[in-house]
């Protein structure tokens, strides 16, 4: 088992692509996405209904080393400043296979 | 005004299902049309209406009068966001002013489809090119709205750096609903009569039923979204009803001047008076993330849209009949 | 008994698709109807059956004999949960006794729809008011079941504090399937003949096909749910078959006495003998969370429902024919 | 980055509204919901199939301060006692923007 | 070659919707058919084609010529994976060689359905037993592919320990699409004429429209998947076009020798030349997890499938016409 | 509140059954599954589209004691070696009810 950082991000469905572009820019292209999340925060409620993506959130999760996380931390912060959402970081052990 | 028009409209199953949707929310029923079923209905309606329009257009061809109508439609979708922006700027911040202006410059396909069903009930024909008008009117106001915001917003927005002019254009013109309706229209044009007949049970016969289902969902959605306007203040509420009336009436007057037929004039009035809640929020979320979709989407979806399908359509039609 | 009735029923594509669903589970195939497609079919069936019933009802109007039938239907849905509760209480805890009693006092819309298709095959007519009976029978037994549990359960349940009488009433009467069927019924009544015709390709023509799809899913579901009854003991299994037979037969005898027509008598038998697996679990989850849906849902869904559509319907029909 | 508590709750689909009411009562109305979870626990299996909500779970996630969590802890415990489900709490760092 | 055949095919709405799907990806539109709607269309098409085939088969019965056709179909699905495996083994590792061999030994139901629509347009009949051929050809090559991999792979694979011969057989024969088509076929056989008529609006009338929707999604999917082949090298790309041509032509020659009718010969050519992208990946994922679905799925889905429906079908048909 | 291990596993949709079999073999049959996850890792991208399960991932979550986790750790590792995917373990507090 190897210690890693687990990063969880909730953003609007439209904005997910921009998060992934940030990851890819740092060759950090390992992630899992769960679509169709709903929720509330500081901005308008995303109830998950309607035809437009702006009322849907996505949940994105990736595990990486602390160094890797540092490389995307600032761009993610700047993006979320603009788009809203939340980014949570925690310690995990990776069962390496 | 002939009240029977409104009552006839209200007793239409499509409109009744819209009411049922609103009642569902008022009585707090747990009835819901789970995702992504509403997308199925909306994609179906775009495909059906686009395809039928294309088949019709292939039949009639394009003449000067059609070009005139299309030009009028596109110009309206350019002029409206500009004049609305400068009015809205006095009451709201730049970002939301731009978004609302773009919303009402663009169109609502569902309102259009409901008006088509209204015409079908009365057995009044309309031109296939009206579907082209619908497709052409979706994007221009988005470009203009974003441009105006960027012009007047002096803050160094991060989004402006990330999403440039080209991305905005791309986003505006490749929105899913634009592509679906335009694509189906072109396919309808390319397909011959025989191909159209083979598709008719799908695109025509079950059309009304699918619309009922979809309007049931739209009723639920509208009644839910309207809550977001609780704190929006009277200006925006009045705006959401007054603007469609003004645009609808003006559009009808110009249509008369341009000698546009009854059915087409109604559809134009509906297009011009309606507001977008699919293409505009999608593009603005990227290009102007500081605009609040919790504001401009409920305006068009929860006020203008119900107003238009319940009262607007029969009213516009009454007016057209009076002036003809 | 005329075996051909059962065999005819078994060779119906709708019933065959139900079998296919069960086979899917037995051979452990990965075939599944992913969520929320089953909801699409079920919403469609409620809409179609409700709307057709309303159109029919507008045609025939309401007379004394219809009132009689509806009264019988509602009374049965009040009496059944009471008498069943006191029987079940001897074998089970109060919570589950109340839930099972409510289940069998309420109805299964899918069984009803399958019986309608059975009648259509034989070209036997039924009254639009039977759909009203379906809608009226869903909720009363829920109220009664919850009331009985609260009366006899001496423990200070948290749920009882949170979910009072008013919430229970609200939950029982605003359940999605009740609202959908009742709403569509009323829309059918309000819509004229012309409106009904325009919807017919959707509500009538593709009805049988949608039912096939839905019963395929119900077959998969029933075969999966039946496993949960592995440890339930023979009493509940026998209960789930005996109760529909008794209720069905009694209902038919009373229908004869009330001079109710063949088709309506069959539908009544099916309603009274069937058990709910949508409205009841929804309400009981909130009001009586200690009742176990892993028990009472499989009983009605995985035993009573298959029994009814495979053997019950032809058997009830045979009986009605003999007595007429 | 700011330390917060991440609270994850899995409950039946019908019960989610009651969890949110608890949060709202404490002005804790920031959360993310992922619907259509399935699972097994002490009670009946929720396989995510069928027309009734009682065989569906929801996953609810919210990040809050320790003090905020303390204010909803007991009501959540009492609710879950009744409805079943699970509530897990862990330490996270919030990338504040 | 008669170019009008290709052009007619290209101007078919079904094929045009497939192109629309590809364009959606090229212009980076956000149009998508969200999950699980594609499953709805695919389940519908399997049900409709299976049921119609069964009804037809009940009508015609089974004779020697039908047995001959089915035998030819099954043998081809056994021979093809074997010979392909030994060719592929020279270029690729054992696991992927086996998976690709199985892919092209098995069949694509969507290609089959598209060919059926092609025949319907030209009003050329085909036998109900061709649906049986489709069902029979899905599984054998899977068994053979897995068997060959296990035979030649000397590494002690964990998967081989977990998933034995029995599991592989089960997986191959109980795949959802096999069960759906075979089940619907048998239901079609058991249902009489009257039952079939009642289902016709669902299984026949809206068939073309559902196919349009589905091919729109397949176009999006194919254009997305093709990217995965960027680094695959020219061998596999050429393989994915050459193999269907060779198999199609050979199949047509044998069909002529066996005196198989025009319509049936086309469907056979399409079955034999197409590659699986549902049953094969499902089974190989379990039995041979080291094979890369990111390789063999795009080959059949993003190259062979578009090639077949755009050029293959009219070409095979032209050839059949020339030889008849 | 009781300390537990939270185990998160992302695997292909087809492979989820095998993970559950591992859990059941150790009488560890309490878990939550979120279907329809997409993602990227070392192998091919699972974009969540298409008719075949091989382009879909599932997210599986279970909370258990450290001892319980040790009993399934090795079988999970062996499975993931074969099928790909990721397994992350972290410390949580369980709000026992
Ligand atoms: N404290 C939080 N805990 C969990 N999810 C949150 C939190 N704050 C925001 N979110 C999620 O992020 C989305 C956007 O947040 P916001 O930009 O603050 O409106 C919300 O709709 C929630 O889904
Ligand atoms: N230890 C656990 N780990 C993960 N999920 C759990 C656990 N226990 C219960 N759950 C989830 O909570 C739901 C309800 O749990 P229960 O009330 O114990 O049946 C289950 O269906 C699971 O989805
Ligand atoms: N570092 C990671 N962080 C989050 N998810 C991952 C990570 N690596 C792999 N995954 C998930 O596991 C799936 C299979 O991984 P792989 O076998 O490496 O292709 C991917 O599609 C992702 O959904
Ligand atoms: Na407008
Ligand atoms: Na009953
Ligand atoms: Na083949």
User: What does the mean pLDDT of chain B come to?
Assistant: 94
Instruction: Report the distance separating Cα D68 and Cα D26, nearest Å.
Output: 8
Range name among A64-73, B151-160, C191-200, E198-207 with the lowest pLDDT average: B151-160
Instruction: Report the distance separating Cα D90 and Cα F61, nearest Å.
Output: 14
Instruction: Report the distance separating Cα F45 and Cα F55, nearest Å.
Output: 7
One-character DSSP codes across E97-119 = HHHHHHHHHS--HHHHHHHHHHH
- Identify the residue among E215, E222, E286 best suited for mutation to test binding to F, counting F beta carbons within 10 A and taking the highest: E286
pLDDT of residue E56: 93
* Residues C48-69 pLDDT 10s: 999 999 999 999 999 999 999 9
* Residue contact C297–D15, C-beta within 8 A: no
* Residue contact B213–C44, C-beta within 8 A: yes
Helix (DSSP H) and strand (DSSP E) numbers for chain B: 19, 0
* Residues B15-74 pLDDT 10s: 999 999 999 999 999 999 999 999 999 999 999 999 999 999 999 999 999 999 999 999
Residues 6+ apart with CB under 8 A from C237: C229, C303
Does residue F21 sit in helix, strand or coil? helix
Terminal alpha carbon distance of chain C: 15
Does residue F64 sit in helix, strand or coil? strand
* Residue contact C195–B12, C-beta within 8 A: yes
Rg over CA atoms, chain F: 14
Ligand nearest to the CA of A32: 3
Residues 6+ apart with CB under 8 A from B8: B121, B314
Instruction: Report the distance separating Cα D74 and Cα C288, nearest Å.
Output: 21
Contacts of E205 in chain B (CB under 8 A): 201-202, 205
- Ordered alpha helix ranges (H), A1-97: 16-25, 66-83
Range name among C93-102, C161-170, C217-226 with the lowest pLDDT average: C161-170
Taking residues B87-106, report their average pLDDT.
97
* Residues C239-263 pLDDT 10s: 999 999 999 999 999 999 999 999 9
Neighbouring C-alpha atoms within 13 Å toward the C-beta of B32: 15
pLDDT of residue B4: 81
Q: Is E289 exposed, middle or buried (0-12, 13-18, 19+ CB in 10 A)?
A: buried
Please check the confidence at residue C264 and state whether its pLDDT lies above 80.
yes
pLDDT of residue A30: 97
Give the residue from E143, E181, E166 showing the smallest Cα distance to E280: E143
**Chain C CA closest to residue D40:** C294
pLDDT of residue E145: 96
* Residue contact E30–B191, C-beta within 8 A: no
Using the CB atoms, write b or e for C182-198: b if 16+ within 10 Å: bbbbbbbbbbeeebbeb
Residues having CB within 6 Å of any atom of ligand 3: A 30-32, 61-63; F 10, 39-43, 46, 57, 84-86
Q: Does B131 touch chain A (CB under 8 A)?
A: no
pLDDT of residue B9: 85
Instruction: Report the distance separating Cα C232 and Cα C243, nearest Å.
Output: 17
pLDDT of residue B256: 96
Q: Does C123 touch chain E (CB under 8 A)?
A: no
* Residues F13-62 pLDDT 10s: 999 999 999 999 999 999 999 999 999 999 999 999 988 889 999 999 99
Taking residues B136-143, report their average pLDDT.
96
Instruction: Report the distance separating Cα E225 and Cα A38, nearest Å.
Output: 29
Q: What is the pTM of this model?
A: 0.97
Please check the confidence at residue C164 and state whether its pLDDT lies above 90.
no
User: The tokens of F63 are what?
Assistant: 């909370």
What does the DSSP 8-state code read for residue C304?
I
Taking residues C294-307, report their average pLDDT.
96
Q: Does E206 touch chain C (CB under 8 A)?
A: yes
Instruction: Report the distance separating Cα B39 and Cα E43, nearest Å.
Output: 18
Q: To the nearest whole angstrom, how far is the Cα of C30 from the nearest Cα of chain E? A: 5
The ligand 1 atom nearest the CA atom of A40: 21
Q: Answer yes or no: are the C-beta atoms of E272 and F41 closer than 8 Å.
A: no
Q: Which of D39, D77, D88 is the closest to F33 by Cβ?
A: D39
**Chain E CA closest to residue B174:** E29
Read off the pLDDT band of F88 (50, 70, 90). very high
Between C6 and E109, whose confidence is greater? E109
pLDDT of residue E324: 79
**Is the distance from the beta carbon of residue A39 to the nearest atom of ligand 1 less than 6 Å?**
yes
Distances (CA, A) of B310 to B225, B304, E317: 17, 10, 53
Please check the confidence at residue E103 and state whether its pLDDT lies above 60.
yes
Percent of chain D with pLDDT over 90: 92
Percent of chain E with pLDDT over 90: 86
User: The tokens of D16 are what?
Assistant: 């989610």
pLDDT of residue B10: 87
User: The tokens of C120 are what?
Assistant: 């259509």
The ligand 2 atom nearest the CA atom of F61: 4
pLDDT of residue C157: 67
pLDDT of residue E156: 63
- Identify the residue among F42, F54, F56, F85 best suited for mutation to test binding to E, counting E beta carbons within 10 A and taking the highest: F54
Distances (CA, A) of B223 to B39, B61, B162, B296, B306: 18, 41, 35, 15, 10
Residues having CB within 6 Å of any atom of ligand 2: D 10, 39-43, 46, 57, 84-86; F 30-32, 61-63
**Is the distance from the beta carbon of residue A81 to the nearest atom of ligand 1 less than 6 Å?**
no
Q: Answer yes or no: are the C-beta atoms of F85 and F10 closer than 8 Å.
A: yes
Please check the confidence at residue C163 and state whether its pLDDT lies above 80.
no
Which residues surround the ion ligand 6 when the cut-off is CB under 5 Å? E 107
* Residue contact C285–D55, C-beta within 8 A: no
């Amino acid at each position: 088992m190897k210690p890693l950082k687990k990063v969880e991000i909730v953003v609007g469905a439209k904005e997910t692509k921009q998060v992934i572009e940030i990851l890819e820019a740092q060759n950090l292209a390992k992630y899992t996405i769960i679509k169709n999340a709903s929720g509330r925060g500081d901005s308008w409620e995303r109830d998950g209904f309607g035809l437009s993506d702006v009322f849907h959130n996505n949940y994105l999760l990736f595990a990486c080393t602390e160094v890797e996380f540092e490389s995307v931390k600032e761009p993610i912060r700047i993006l979320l400043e603009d788009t809203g959402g939340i980014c949570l970081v925690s310690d995990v052990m990776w069962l390496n296979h | 005004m002939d009240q029977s028009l409104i009552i006839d409209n209200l007793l239409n199953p499509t409109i009744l299902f819209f009411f049922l949707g609103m009642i569902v929310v008022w009585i707090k029923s747990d009835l819901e049309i789970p995702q992504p079923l509403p997308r199925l209905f909306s994609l179906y309606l775009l495909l059906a209406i686009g395809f039928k329009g294309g088949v019709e257009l292939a039949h009639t061809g394009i003449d000067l009068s059609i070009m005139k109508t299309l030009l009028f439609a596109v110009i309206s979708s350019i002029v409206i966001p500009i004049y609305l922006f400068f009015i809205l700027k006095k009451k709201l911040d730049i970002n939301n002013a731009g978004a609302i202006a773009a919303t009402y410059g663009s169109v609502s396909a569902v309102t259009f489809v409901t008006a088509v069903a209204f015409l079908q009930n009365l057995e009044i024909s309309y031109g296939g090119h009206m579907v082209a008008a619908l497709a052409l009117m979706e994007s221009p106001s988005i470009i203009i709205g974003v441009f105006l915001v960027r012009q007047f917003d002096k803050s160094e927005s991060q989004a402006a750096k990330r999403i440039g002019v080209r991305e905005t254009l791309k986003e505006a013109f490749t929105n899913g609903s634009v592509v679906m309706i335009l694509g189906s229209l072109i396919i309808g044009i390319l397909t011959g009569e025989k191909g159209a007949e083979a598709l008719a049970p799908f695109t025509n016969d079950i059309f009304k039923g699918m619309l009922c289902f979809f309007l049931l969902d739209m009723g639920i959605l509208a009644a839910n979204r309207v809550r977001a306007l609780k704190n929006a203040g009277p200006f925006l509420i009045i705006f959401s009803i007054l603007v469609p009336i003004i645009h609808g009436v003006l559009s009808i007057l110009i249509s008369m001047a341009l000698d546009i037929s009854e059915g087409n004039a109604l559809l134009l009035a509906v297009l011009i008076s309606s507001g977008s809640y699919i293409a505009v929020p999608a593009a603005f979320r990227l290009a102007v993330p500081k605009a609040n979709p919790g504001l401009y989407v409920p305006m068009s979806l929860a006020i203008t849209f119900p107003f238009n399908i319940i009262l607007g359509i029969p009213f516009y039609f009454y007016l057209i009949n009076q002036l003809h």
